[in-house]
Amino acid sequence: MITNTFYSQENHGPYDIYQLGDFLLESGEVINNCKLAYTTFGKLNNNKDNVILMPTWFSGTSKDMEAFVGEERAINPNNYFIIIINQIGNGLSSSPHNSPEPIAMANFPNVTIFDDVRAQHSLITNKYGITEIALVVGGSMGAQQTYEWAVRYPKMVKRAAPIAGTAKVTSHNIQFTQTLIESITSDPLWNNGSYNVHTDVKDGLKRHANIWSVMGLSTEFYQKEMWSIYDVNSFDEFIHEFLQPLYQKMDPNNLILMARKWQKADVSKITNGDLAEALRGIQAKVFVLPIDEDMFFKPSDCRAEQKLIPNSELRMIYSSVGHFALPGPEGNSYHKQIDQHLNELLACTK
């Protein structure tokens, strides 16, 4: 267990903590005194049916998801009770860096997307008595959790909007996340995950950022030299003053845990590997929202799954940024698209 001020209320709050107790994982391992960090907006109505649930993406926190919430937005706290829940391992919820022995650091148990969803289910049912969710919406790893929600709790989820993600991880994504893992573990100061402070692994985290710079941003982003959306003025500043410092603030064990979770995402575990059968069981109205220039979750991969989902539509998001469009660095041009699709989805009664 180590201290990392990056994962603080000052940087990522305000958030509350829900105590799960000793949480049994899909692997049979246990997270002792498991904690979920979450934040809410709006009020739960008397029928408890105005709930929007938002899980987080790789390395992201509830603070990132707040960009989708607003009184002029589709996710409007005047109309909905919005719950943003931080996935296990993201640094705010129970994670390798903030857990005590015997599950500290590299000894943290193996976690799956289904474990995240079961933990989230426990929070919203036990704390709030919620039995119906108007919308689950998340991007990237948040989309993986969105699919898992729709498959595992089909009667509970009325609408789902997976953004830039798939229900089953592709071989391409498995290989990509393996390079992310190895960029960190190849650092000599990684020390099998037993470093003293996260900055010991600064070279590994730098390589981690460099890999994201290749795949997280589209070729169009570089061709158009869109550095200004990140408040920098050049390619070198984007890499060395924005992207590398961003990842060098994070905990290496946390990043590896999330990457391994990403590698194993697969809703078809519930149907003995039959993806079509798993997706046919979804009862929610689903808008599948790929990003056109995304090099991780290609629109063609998203479309292939969407065709297997009853009562679903594919709605393309257009962005020159690629996968890193998710938080909305392009501003209104991106958020207007998201809001239009989510408004139309929320208006659907079937």
Condensed to tens digits (0 to 9), the pLDDT of residues 15-27 reads 999 999 999 999 9
Condensed to tens digits (0 to 9), the pLDDT of residues 150-193 reads 999 999 999 999 999 999 999 999 999 999 999 999 999 999 99
SS3 of 161-191: EEECCCCECCHHHHHHHHHHHHHHHCCHHHH
200 is catalytic: no
Q: What is the mean pLDDT of residues 296-316?
A: 97
Provide φ and ψ at 223, rounded to 5°. -60, -40
Confidence of residue 127 (pLDDT cuts 50, 70, 90): very high
Condensed to tens digits (0 to 9), the pLDDT of residues 73-126 reads 999 999 999 999 999 999 999 999 999 999 999 999 999 999 999 999 999 999
C-alpha angle 178-37-338 in degrees, rounded to nearest 5: 70
294 is catalytic: yes
* Cα(113)–Cα(95) distance, integer angstroms: 14
Q: What share of the chain is helix, strand, coil (3-state, %, to 5)?
A: 45, 15, 40
- Which residues are bridge partners to 52 per DSSP? 82, 135
Q: What is the mean pLDDT of residues 212-219?
A: 95
323 is catalytic: yes
Condensed to tens digits (0 to 9), the pLDDT of residues 41-77 reads 999 999 999 999 999 999 999 999 999 999 999 999 9
Which position among 64, 294, 301, 339 bears the catalytic label?
294
- pLDDT surpassing 90 at residue 350: no
Q: What is the mean pLDDT of the chain?
A: 97
**Cβ-proximal residues to 209 (8 Å cutoff; 6+ apart), any chain:** 239, 243, 244, 246, 247, 248
User: What are the helix and strand counts (H, E) for the chain?
Assistant: 14, 8
What pTM value is reported for the model? Answer: 0.97
* Cα(297)–Cα(295) distance, integer angstroms: 6
Provide φ and ψ at 136, rounded to 5°. -110, 130
pLDDT computed for residue 349 by the predictor: 86
Q: What secondary structure does DSSP assign to 333-348, as a single string?
A: HHHHHHHHHHHHHHH-
